[in-house]
Structure 1
Amino acid sequence: MTAPSLPPSATGLGRQGWILVLTLASAQLVSWGSLFYSFSLFVVPMEQDLGWSRASINGALSIGLLVSGLTALPVGIAIDRGRARLVMTVGSLLGASVLAIWAVTDSIFVFYAIWALMGVALASTLYEPAFAVLAGRLGARYRAGITAMTLIGGLASTAFIPLTQLMIELWGWREALIGLALWNLLFCAAIHLVVLRDPNRKTARQHPAPETKPAGAGNSGGKALMRQLMRLPRFWALLMAFVLYSALIAALLFHLVPMMIGRGLPMAAIIGAMSVIGPMQVAGRIVLMSLGRHMSSAAAGRIVFSLMVLAMLLLWLLPTTAVVMIGFAALYGAANGVMTIVRATIVPELLTSEAYATVNGAMYMPATLAKAAAPFIAALLWEWSGGYDLVLMVLVILAALAAIAFWLAGTPARAAE
């Protein structure tokens, strides 16, 4: 991480703040790369070795993503109660255990069971719990810490997609899973155990999380606010945009490798193109930060959704070549990188700054359900149609509908008072 890549305010983190941010960011890079991005690389080898269908393999992923969404709330509560060290350490240990069992299983039932457990590991180790830790421990400096973390974590696919594919080619897919398990056991779990220290209540009172409302503020008031927002067309438009976008990204991410293999693209070209995604995610975030207040979240979101439509059209209409894949990866990476920030800031801008957690929670569950179902449905479409042409057409439609929904939410309406 070089200084020009960081926002100016990041320099105020201090030595202890930097230790916390950089170590957690390194663990995020490994967790995302080994637990999340690696899945698509194992689909084809498992099909060939075990004879399982693509739909059945992706069904386990859907179960994991669904459990991850359902587990997010209790994980957040535990972290708010000062259990971050326990939650994230156990999450990494659980992720390592799931990868190790996956490596030796020949049973589809065991595969589904361990991916349900993987959902708990995902909820306990990825961005949301890490963001909560930084928000609670860095005080007013938490925004700089979160920005630095996303810049490093955004390179997870760049680092681990080539690394995982290399391990598969050299050792085999089962041995590669053991290698990923060791990364989580020896690196991530160790970082979470050693670096995270659960703050005592006195420290927590002296350094409360920024912009946090008193306990109970989101109960009856939050429910009344939700009833008001649900009468607004722009609330439903924004909700629909995020649901469709989540379905699109999940289906695309976990089918992209087998999709490109089916179109005859060499694995080296696929891995090279996918390695572009991480740097472009980081580049998109840096550009957005450099614009600062000159670009609203609504304006950034309109660009993001438009770029995603363009990326999907590129993938659907043009011949499948390495150059086309690199162009797609660049557009996809830049758009998805900025989307992480847009999703965190769009609700206060377009809807309300009150009961932030309640409003976001109301949007999170439908998006999680869509994310969980999309890879499985895409696999069913692939099996039914005999190829990925129909799947790609559906993904283009999803991208277009998501863009239209976001434009309807953000362009004509002013933010709620």
Structure 2
Amino acid sequence: MTASSLPPSATGLGRQGWILVLTLASAQLVSWGSLFYSFSLFVVPMEQDLGWSRASINGALSIGLLVSGLTALPVGIAIDRGRARLVMTVGSLLGAAVLAIWAVTDSIFVFYAIWALMGVALASTLYEPAFAVLAGRLGARYRAGITAMTLIGGLASTAFIPLTQLMIELWGWREALVGLALWNLLFCAAIHLFVLRDPNRKSARQQDVPETRQAAKPAGGKALMRQLMALPRFWAMLIAFVLYSALIAALLFHLVPLMIGRGLPMPVIIGAMSVIGPMQVAGRIVLMSLGRRMSSAVAGRIVFSLMVLAMAVLWLLPTTAAVAIGFCALYGTANGVMTIVRATIVPELLTSEAYATVNGAMYMPATVAKAIAPFAAALLWEWSGGYDVVLMVLVVLAALSALSFWLAGTPAQAAE
């Protein structure tokens, strides 16, 4: 099934739809902010306190992201089978437990072990499972729901980077981790446990979800994937997202050390990074205002190109406060729209069947690339003695990912 056979988008989510979207969005804000964006803020304090190298600290992150990628497909299958409540609640509880253990460990081996578990938490709580829940429960209205959810979720870095840094400065990095653990335990787990409980879920899905999506069953996943893997646009899209994921992961988890190394004070760095969230939201508002006048394929081509520009700015210009803010604005705009593109491009260009399973299969290699990239960037930094070579490699990744997405085709081509 291609874009030509998808039902028209519905704009009204209804009261229950809005409750689902807004509560999931609030949990996404906390999950992204505490489990993902906060990591880079702990690198320097842990280096100073524990004497661990930057590469070894980022190695644990790589293990977590690798496990997240390997877990993406089973998580998608479980959600397609109606187990979203169990998956996302356990994920939040596991994330809280990992943060609490991280706060008391002095062992690099324990640190690596708990980040392997964190990978399961990431796969179970972040955007992909939430997107799948909205796609399954909102049916034809899923794009409106996803866009609305990401408007709130996009503020995660804006809210939690300054909040986490403040907790580190006031309490210390270990106590800050305990605070983040409580957010996941008392807020995210509660939302997933109570909001995702819907005794009428099965009948609601049968009424809302298009007939072809009702017919999609996990048992047919292998045949469906064989059909998709025969399409050149599938591989072009896959390569684009693999390279983009590697770029974003390497950049995100090295941006604070990079700016510190280039002489920017921490208040300026925090201020610049706080621009990312609002610009993500601004990009999504623009995309939402355009509605059906701009397809996900066209939006993707624009933002992939915008990311090339952002990386070139960071690489070629001296890292002043103005350049840092400008880069974060470009990055935030592109990455904000990219989140929606990533969530909607598969139904538009490939298939609307078995949404969570196909997404999990497609983004598994992208998440593996995301896992390797921060560690590889740290090794490259150590080898080259600075971030200039790292940035040059990231510019190349941005250009290749943009080229691959441009080659993936348009909705009209996909329907032929």
Tell whether the structures are fold-level matches, with TM greater than 0.5.
yes
The answer to whether the 8 Å contact 2:80/2:357 transfers is no
In structure 2, distance between residues paired with 1:82 and 1:235: 27
C-alpha distance after superposition, 1:86-125 (max 9, x if no partner): 3222221111111010011000110011011111111221
CA deviation after TM superposition for structure 1 residue 189, in Å: 1.7
Give the 3-state SS of the residue equivalent to 2:211 in structure 1: coil
| Rounded Cα–Cα distance in structure 2 between residues aligned with 1:58 and 1:165 | 19
Partners of 1:90 and 1:412 lie apart in 2 by 37
Displacement of 1:144: 2.6
Shift of 1:407: 2.1
The more displaced of 382-391 and 70-79 is 70-79
Are the equivalent residues in 2 in contact too, given 1:50–1:106 (CA < 8 A)? yes
Maintained 8 Å contact 2:91/2:125: yes
Aligned-pair distance for 1:346?
Answer: 2.9
After superposition, the Cα gap between the structure-2 partners of 1:416 and 1:113, relative to the gap in structure 1 and judged at 3 Å, is: same
Deviates more, 1:297-306 or 1:262-271: 297-306
Q: TM-score, normalised by structure 1?
A: 0.90
**SS at 1:60 equivalent:** helix
Q: Work out whether residues 85 and 198 of structure 1, in 8 Å CA contact, stay in contact via their aligned partners in 2.
A: no
Listed one character per residue, the Cα deviations across residues 57-78 of structure 1 (whole Å, up to 9, x for unaligned) are: 1111111111112222332333
Task: State which drifts further: 74-83 or 89-98.
Answer: 74-83
How far did residue 261 of structure 1 move? 0.7
Q: CA deviation at 1:384?
A: 1.1
Deviation (angstroms), 1:276? 0.6
Counterpart CA distance in 2 for 1:410 and 1:209 is 27
Relative distance call for 1:61 and 1:23 in structure 2 (3 A) is: same
CA distance in 2, matches of 1:182, 1:228: 44
CA distance in 1, matches of 2:310, 2:90: 38
1: distance between equivalents of 2:278 and 2:400? Answer: 27
Report if aligned partners of 2:143, 2:344 keep a CA contact under 8 Å in 1.
Answer: no
After superposition, the Cα gap between the structure-2 partners of 1:152 and 1:219, relative to the gap in structure 1 and judged at 3 Å, is closer
Displacement of 1:333 in angstroms is 0.6
| 1:39 corresponds to | 39
Decide whether the 8 Å contact of 2:154 with 2:280 is kept in 1.
yes
8 Å Cα contact 2:2/2:347 also seen in 1 = no
Contact 1:6 1:148 in 2 (8 A): no
Q: Quote the residue 2:375 is aligned against.
A: 376
SS at match of 1:10: coil
Task: Give the CA deviation at 1:359.
Answer: 5.2
Post-superposition Cα deviations, 1:109-157, rounded to whole Å, max 9, x if no partner, equal: 1001101111111122112222233333344443332221111001000
After superposition, the C-alpha distances for 1:195-215 in whole angstroms (9 at most, x for unaligned) are 231435753564453465345
Q: Could you tell me whether the CA contact under 8 Å between 1:167 and 1:176 is conserved in 2?
A: yes
User: Does the CA-based 8 Å contact 1:31-1:188 persist in structure 2?
Assistant: yes
Deviation at 1:414, TM superposition (A): 2.4
Per-residue deviation, residues 218-275 of structure 1 (Å, max 9, x unmatched)? 7797656655654554433222211111100010011111111111111111110111
What's the CA shift for 1:342? 1.6
Contact 1:136 1:204 in 2 (8 A): no
Return the alpha-carbon distance in structure 2 between the equivalents of residues 81 and 412 of structure 1: 29
C-alpha distance in 1, partners of 2:408/2:205?
38
1:161-198: per-residue Cα shift (whole Å, max 9, x none)? 01001111111111111111111112112222332314
Distance in 2 of aligned mates of 1:108 and 1:157: 27
> Once the 2 structures are TM-superposed, how far is the Cα of residue 321 of structure 1 from its aligned partner?
0.9
Structure 1 stretch 309-318 or stretch 353-362: which is displaced more?
353-362
Shift of 1:379: 0.7
Identity of aligned pairs, percent?
91
Contact 2:136/2:205, CA 8 A, preserved across alignment: no
Q: Is the 8 A contact 2:72 2:364 kept in 1?
A: no
Q: Which has the higher contact order (CA 8 A, sep 6+)?
A: 2
Could you tell which deviates more after superposition, 232-241 or 23-32?
Answer: 232-241
Q: Structure 1's 55 and 166: CA in aligned 2 closer, same or farther, altered over 3 A?
A: same
Q: Which residue does 2:143 correspond to in 1?
A: 143
Q: Using a 3 Å threshold, how does the CA distance of structure 1 residues 38 and 6 change in structure 2: closer, same or farther?
A: farther
Q: Distance in 2 between matches of 1:352 and 1:249?
A: 26
Are the counterparts in 1 of residues 89 and 192 from structure 2 also a CA contact under 8 Å? yes
- The 1:11–1:341 alpha-carbon spacing in structure 2 relative to 1, beyond 3 Å, is closer
Give the match for residue 315 of structure 1. 314
Question: Cα–Cα, structure 1 residues 307 and 11, in superposed 2: closer, same or farther, change >3 Å?
Answer: closer
How far residue 13 of structure 1 moved from its aligned partner, in angstroms, is 2.8
Which moves more between the two structures, 147-156 or 122-131? 122-131
8 Å CA contact retained: 1:302, 1:403: yes
What's the RMSD between the two structures over aligned residues?
4.5
- Which range moves more in the overlay, 143-152 or 52-61? 143-152
Q: Corresponding residue for 1:349? A: 348
* Residue 414 (structure 1) aligned with residue 413 (structure 2): yes
Deviation of the 1:363 alpha carbon:
2.7
Contact 2:137–2:201 under 8 Å retained in 1? no
| TM-fit CA distance, 1:287 | 0.8
Answer with 13-22 or 375-384: which moved more: 13-22
Distance in 2 of aligned mates of 1:220 and 1:241: 28
Give the secondary structure class of the aligned counterpart of 2:11: helix
TM-score (norm: length of structure 2):
0.90
User: Unaligned 5+ residue runs, structure 2?
Assistant: none
